[in-house]
Structure 1
């Protein structure tokens, strides 16, 4: 149904005269008559009766009028939902307890006036497809690895280098250390059941192991962070890695230790991905906020994988499988 004819009908019904409706719509009276005739033909009923006083609604016209008004309201809501700045900015943060979620909380505190939708997508290929389809506006990713370039229409910029920490139980051999060098971790069992082959973090830890000769075990089912913390607390032979900004809470009796890793400090390179044609004004605000709040990426004394997106935002890659 042509919304112009519906709008013309509503204006004519309110005005009671086609000439007044034509003046309000900035068209000719003939154009109003043609639009009304087209609508009547499509509906198969007469909507107006001409009288000496103007145009009066028929019984069918009276029945159609409230529905016509609702059609126009729905159309306006549809347009408003995608009008620049009116639709919430939709961003993928991967998971609720990791660094990207914290970055978005910081953005929300700085810009409470901006409506946000936060989603959590595990796989980078799913996230990239959602960006390209317009399902989401942006995603935080590490953007890995050789041989899997991002599509040409996807842009990325490195926004946070998150330092890696060692998490141990109270009886672990390194539990009393104020910091630990990467070299000192050689020979210790590092248990990370959450590593999924083919993911960005899988590619990250593969290169970390190859670079420093570490032992990372991804054996056993992944029952989530609570089960991981329980096991680390109770098993002196096991430790695990976690990001500096990962937010985890455990019972006081666990006695867990978060120990900085140094010489060099491994950092996880978080990047923001978005579509090159996305003009949502809040996306520009997010990028400006992240740039202003960004840490010293590629700082001296840190290590990042060879495939990480450079801080200047050069093209990234998808993880190899």
Structure 2
């Protein structure tokens, strides 16, 4: 359906004159008459009766008018849904309980006027493709793992180096420690079923194992964080890593302990990536917020893979 014909029909109905509608629409009276005539032929009915006072709606025109108004409202909503500044800012955070979600919650508190759509994509390739297509505006990722590089039109900036903590049950041999060095973790079984080969977090933990000789197991299905917490609480020989800013809640009877790791502190590198030509005004506000609202960084020496500090474009 020709939206401009619908708009012209409503303008004539509102002003009661073809000339008045032409003035409102900034077109000629002849153009108004032509649009109405073409639409009447398409519908097979007369919409207006010309009178000495102007144009009056016919019975068919009166029946059509409320539907025409709704068509214009739908058209405006459709345009607004994709217009930068009028549609929500769409950001990928990978998961709902991690540091990235915490950063977005902080941004929302600081900028409640910005409407947000928070998504959870999986692979970095999927996120980059979504950014380039305009499906999302930005994504939090660890860039760039071995074998990965960002296209030239994708920008990135580091936003958070998140310290890792060891999570153990009450019967674990390390449960009484106030803090642990990386060397003290050697020989202990660290279970992380969420590690997926080929992902940037998989590459991170591969590098951690290679650097310090840790034993990280990713065996078994990943039934989610609740099942992981249950297993760690019930198995004295198992521990797991979690980010310092990860928000997890478990039953009081689990008796789980979160223990800081030091000398050095392994940190997971979070970066924000976006398309360099993205015009959404809230994207600038998000980048400025992330640059000014850094959580506390580790006091001890930090460790992260060499690739986390490399040029993300592979130059």
Q: Same fold (TM over 0.5)?
A: yes
Task: Show the 5 A alignment for 1:188-203.
Answer: 188-203=188-203
TM-superposed deviation, 1:295: 4.9
Is contact 1:309–1:316 with CA below 8 Å preserved after alignment? no
Alignment of structure 1 residues 1-321 onto 2, 5 Å = 1-295=1-295, 301-309=301-309, 314-315=311-312
Q: TM-score, normalised by structure 1?
A: 0.91
Q: Give me the TM-score of the superposition, normalised by structure 2.
A: 0.92
Inter-CA distance 20–240: structure 2 relative to 1 (3 Å threshold): closer
Cα shift at 1:304:
0.6
Whole-Å separation in 1 of the counterparts to 2:298 and 2:232: 31
**1:144 and 1:203 in contact (8 A); partners too:** no
Q: Deviation at 1:302?
A: 0.5
Alpha-carbon distance change, 296 to 55 in structure 1, aligned in 2, over 3 angstroms: same
With 63-72 and 103-112 compared, the bigger mean Cα shift is at: 63-72
Task: Provide the C-alpha distance between the structure 1 equivalents of 2:223 and 2:21, rounded to a whole number of angstroms.
Answer: 67
**1:275 CA drift (Å):** 1.5
C-alpha contact (below 8 Å) 1:158/1:309 kept by paired residues: no
Q: In the alignment, is the contact (CA less than 8 A) between 2:146 and 2:203 conserved in 1?
A: no
Which structure 2 segments of 5+ residues have no match?
none
Deviation of residue 110 (structure 1)? 0.9
Equivalent residues of 2:130, 2:136 under 8 A apart? yes
- Where structure 1 has 5 or more consecutive residues not aligned to the other structure, the ranges are none
Moved over 4 A (4+): 295-300
Conserved? CA contact 2:162–2:297, under 8 Å: no
Give the direction of change, closer, same or farther, for the CA distance of 1:23–1:241 in structure 2 (3 Å limit).
closer
